[in-house]
Structure 1
Amino acid sequence: MSLTDTELVEQANTAFYETMERGDFDELSDLWLDDDISCIHPGWPVLTGRGEVLRSYALIMANTEYIQFFLTDVKVSVAGDTALVTCTENILSGGPAEEGGELGPLVGQLVVATNVFRRTPDGWKVWSHHGSPVLTETDGEEDENSPS
């Protein structure tokens, strides 16, 4: 039984996150289109072109000892040779090991993401990734009892 486009796109989206978890830069590079790509990491400016986008992932991988993505609310929409995936990235990450060789503190982060894929002869490839942080109830709120 062959997979539907929706299933193939979901597989490509999963592969995108799994390669980041493994820190496999070469495989991650292969998942992106060869041309006109873009990426917005939370808090970063828009990155365009293969060089800028892939450099950003190399930098992230070099400075992240551990990262794991738990994807929720995954929705896939396919229109011809283009596909849109929206999801929530529940991220657990840790920085480079400290002097004693122990992993830096683990940090949890919630990001909503939009991943756009394009069909190629080699399968579905990432065209664009946009991640935005989700503010928790305590982010940016002042203590109600503090003076204004």
Structure 2
Amino acid sequence: MSKPTFTTALEAEAAFYQALAQGDLDALMAVWSEEEDVVCIHPGGPRIVGLAAIRETWRQILAGGNRLQIEVSQPVITASAAMAMHCVFEQVALESREQRSATLAVTNVFTRGADGWHMVLHHASAVPDLSDFGDLSPRVVH
């Protein structure tokens, strides 16, 4: 199977979330850069460095046929010609347990190389109920 070429970081991110929803480990890993300095941090977990270690953590998460339902919202995107950082919220639920879900604050970083855009960082952290934050609009304090 040849590795897909993603022409934009948004296309790579969409493929990442589609692979998660389908429980497709190979498609999920095709989104990742093949560089060894890739990093993944799952909610409450340690920093995982390297493609083989990251693959193993995703294999464990997807084992047993659990399907994840993920709704991505509130993207904040920073991009240049060679790098893109997407900060999003994920609403995550197991397909079999629709009532129980978690909100995660996620940072996905992609780099552009000769073979297109690929993920180099996925960092997800659990967040409390968003209503607990109150008004988060920018404040100027002088």
- TM-score of the two chains, using structure 2 as the length reference: 0.79
Which stretches in structure 1 are left out of the alignment for 5+ residues? 1-6, 95-102, 140-148
Q: 1:72 maps to which residue?
A: 73
- The one-letter code sitting in structure 2 at the alignment partner of 1:53 is I
Most deviating of 16-25 and 74-83: 74-83
The amino acid that maps onto 2:105 is V
* Equivalent residue, structure 2, for 1:52: 53
- The CA deviation at 1:80 is 2.8
Unaligned stretches of 5+ in structure 2? Answer: 1-6, 133-142
Root-mean-square deviation (Å): 2.0
Q: How does 1:1-148 map to 2 (within 5 A)?
A: 8-35=8-35, 36-63=37-64, 65-94=66-95, 103=96, 105-106=97-98, 107-136=100-129
Between the two proteins, the alignment pairs up a number of residues equal to 124
- Tell me: CA distance 1:133–1:64, structure 2 relative to 1, closer, same or farther (3 Å): farther
In the aligned structure 2, how far is the partner of 1:63 from the partner of 1:17? Answer: 19
Structure of higher CA gyration radius? 1
> How far apart, in 1, do the equivalents of 2:80 and 2:106 lie?
19
> Residues 38 and 49 of structure 1 are in contact (CA less than 8 Å); yes or no, is this contact kept in structure 2?
yes
Q: Distance in 1 between matches of 2:70 and 2:113?
A: 26
Counterpart CA distance in 2 for 1:19 and 1:46 is: 22
Query: Structure 1 residues 21 and 41 mapped into 2: Cα distance closer, same or farther (>3 Å)?
Result: same
Query: Contact conserved, 1:84 with 1:115, CA < 8 A, in 2?
Result: yes
Identity of aligned residues (%): 28
Per the TM alignment, residue 136 of structure 1 is displaced from its structure 2 partner at its CA by: 2.2
Amino acid at match of 2:117: W
Return the alpha-carbon distance in structure 2 between the equivalents of residues 29 and 47 of structure 1: 14
3-state SS in 2 of match to 1:77: strand
With over 3 angstroms needed to count, the CA separation of the structure-2 counterparts of 1:63 and 1:45, relative to structure 1, is farther
Question: Which runs of 4 or more aligned residues in structure 1 lie more than 3 Å from their structure 2 counterparts after TM superposition?
Answer: none
Alpha-carbon deviations, 1:50-78, whole Å to 9, x = none?
A: 11111100000004522111110012211
